[in-house]
A and B are shown apart, each in its own frame.
Chain A
Amino acid sequence: MPTKQLTSPSDLKLSQIQVREALELIVRHHCTELTLLHATVIGKPQLTSALGRYRCIVENKAKVIALGAEASEIHSVVGATKPHSLVTVVDGRLATILLPMRAGGYSLGRDLPSRVWHSLGYDLVQTRGVEGPASIFWATCERLARRFSRPDLADRCRIAMLQTLITSRISGSLATTVVREYRRRQ
């Protein structure tokens, strides 16, 4: 099944649990206030508006959050405002395998190559993955348990899947969706 692009706000439902979790990861790591997020948010309109539901976004050129943004958009914002930090949400290494198999699997696009980030003057400081091997393992177990008429085990596996959605810091890129933070070199 081919991957498709987000086309309307209603496309971003919980079925895309890894995208939702990535947005929540950003909010948890980059918001210090209950209601405000100070950043410039670029990228797919559906994702930027979804992020805006978590916090009221206050324009701040020092921090850019790029949600499935095109390379040209990133180049443009870096050239214009030279933000101190830049957070990207992109497809991880497992996306190429998983998204084509998944009904309604949306591609967020690939991150810029590391040499490009380097040439722009940015260093990678953190990578967090969403939906890595652990959660995929539990999701598979859930399916098997349902197939073998063990709804009790299936429900436990579903919960384990949710509780392992965020990958460890070490294996961040091995995931369906990846959140990376880059900082400008001093």
Chain B
Amino acid sequence: MTVVDSAMVTTAVMQIDRWLDSMRSDWPTPGYGGPVVHWWNDCLTYQGTGLDWRYEGIVDGYLTLWRRTGSDQWRDKAIQAGKDLVAGQLPNAHFQNSCFEQNPNEGGTPHEAAIDVALLQLANQIAGTAPSLHDCFIATAKRNLDSYWFDQLWHEPTATLWDSSDVASFVPNKAATFLEAVLLLADATNNDHLLDRYAIPTGRSILSMQVRCPGELLDGAIAQNRLGDHVVAAYFPLYVARCVPPLLKLYELSNDQCFRDGALAAARFLTRVREPDGGFPQVLYGRGRQIRYPRWIAGAGDIARALQVANGFGAATEIKPTVEWILLGMQSDGSIASAEGFGRIVPIISRHHDFADKVGVAGWCDKAFRVLATLVDPEMTREVDRAPRLQNRAERSLP
């Protein structure tokens, strides 16, 4: 394996941290705000706080920096993020503005499960040092999981997580985020029953959507969606990647080899479709068709993370090309560019949309942040010059 330039990685991580500080907002609740650009739609008009999957990477990234450097400033930032989530939980257990590209709205999937993952990871890490916060974070996540995911989205007769309480649909990457939250909750509450009731059936449902045709390009890919019995045969590398770490965690806890095999096949698929510059096409379909653009840059952090986790289970994948692809997206404000090619999706029609490439999005940069945080040089985090903090969004909007 070739070594990643840790000086460059460390600089990038410190810059993202500074940029994340600048994205803090006080409206409508404290948290990380800003615009969203996405494949499905954009959210450019609402730019207040979004409580969605951005917290997964922000919390994980800061916890990683805390573990690696021993500096409490990173733990404090992770805790601050956790407090944002507690403050933003609504009486109905949803989180305010949890729909990412569909904000302002609530009940976002997989976003609320990603929030639960963040809270449970945080609780796990601070158990020894902040017991009251530990209990509060677990209670907040559990309230959401109980009343939304278990009570409304879990379809008991088929033991499947639906994407909506009134439509029989299954989205593997969302289910994978739910799976991760369930595994963390089972650990936090010592409730093995959750493993049998929710985690293992969900892992099996994800694998049922996986292509297994050795020798074919799509071998190991996981379809994006199933509506009733109709499988939507679109294979997004980002979404395939998001299934890998939860499946491997499930393998560790269940010792069922099929989850490891499925995750490693998915990782091999990712390596197979990776382009020479380390980026990935947006989506592949059957018969060799694909839509190449927009190619995620900051969001590719989740793909690099999947490959990195898979390497711990016997895969031997270079993550360096993808890390370098992400680092090429560093921007002067400290963010990582969202993508390359928003303006090239539909000829002529999309040409005015190329601005979206350079939009810094907290819910994409968090993905770069958390994978890069695992690669920083701890000594260098103290040396990197931290220029004066940028004004945060709340300060900028003051008259």
Contacts and interface: CB of A to CB of B under 8 A. Distances in A.
B234 A160 contact: no
Contacts of A71: none
Interface string A145-158: 00000011001110
22 contacts: A13-B105, A24-B45, A34-B47, A34-B396, A34-B397, A35-B397, A53-B28, A53-B46, A53-B97, A54-B45, A151-B234, A152-B285, A152-B291, A155-B283, A156-B291, A156-B346, A159-B345, A159-B349, A160-B350, A163-B346, A163-B349, A164-B349
Contacts of B345: 156, 159
A14 B285 CA distance: 26
Nearest to B283: A155
Nearest to B348: A160
B397 A33 contact: yes
A151 B45 CA distance: 29
Interface string A5-42: 00000000110000000001001100001110000000
Given A33-B397, A34-B397, A54 B291 contact: no
B232 interface: yes
Interface string B279-297: 0000101000111000000
B309 to A, nearest CB: 29
B41 interface: yes
A175 B210 CA distance: 42
Given A151-B285, A156-B291, A163 B397 contact: no
B355 interface: no
Contacts of B353: 163
Given A56-B27, A155-B291, 9 more contacts: A14-B105, A34-B48, A34-B393, A35-B27, A53-B46, A155-B283, A159-B39, A159-B346, A162-B41
B46 A14 contact: no
A54 B43 CA distance: 11
Nearest to B353: A163
> For the complex, would chain A's binding face be called helix, strand, loop or mixed by DSSP majority?
helix
A162 B44 CA distance: 13
A13 B108 CA distance: 11
B346 A160 contact: yes
B378 interface: no
Nearest to B232: A151
A152 B350 contact: no
Interface in B242-259: none
Contacts of B46: 24, 27, 53-54
A14 B102 contact: yes
Contacts of A163: 346, 349-350, 352-353
Interface of B: 27-28, 39, 41, 45-48, 97, 102, 104-105, 232-234, 283, 285, 289-291, 345-346, 349-350, 352-353, 393, 396-397
Contacts of B291: 152, 155-156
A12 to B, nearest CB: 9
Nearest to A25: B45
Nearest to B101: A14
A152 B104 CA distance: 29
B129 to A, nearest CB: 35
Residue among A13, A35, A157, A162 having the largest count of chain B Cβ atoms under 10 Å:
A35
A53 B104 contact: yes
A56 B349 CA distance: 33
A155 B235 CA distance: 12
Contacts of A162: 41
Contacts of B289: 152
B148 to A, nearest CB: 13
A152 B233 CA distance: 10
A154 B23 CA distance: 35
Given A151-B234, A152-B290, A155-B291, A35 B349 contact: no
A17 B338 CA distance: 24
Given A152-B291, A156-B291, A54 B104 contact: yes
A54 to B, nearest CB: 5
A28 B44 CA distance: 9
Interface in A92-147: none
Residue among B39, B346, B352 having the largest count of chain A Cβ atoms under 10 Å:
B346
Residue among A13, A33, A53, A56 having the largest count of chain B Cβ atoms under 10 Å:
A53
A4 B116 CA distance: 36
A8 to B, nearest CB: 13
A164 B290 CA distance: 23
A54 B97 CA distance: 10
Given A152-B289, A156-B291, A163-B350, A35 B48 contact: yes
A44 to B, nearest CB: 17
Nearest to A158: B40
Contacts of A56: 27-28
Contacts of A157: 346
A160 B346 CA distance: 7
Residue among A24, A54, A56, A152 having the largest count of chain B Cβ atoms under 10 Å:
A152
Contacts of A152: 283, 285, 289-291
A151 B346 CA distance: 14
Nearest to B284: A152
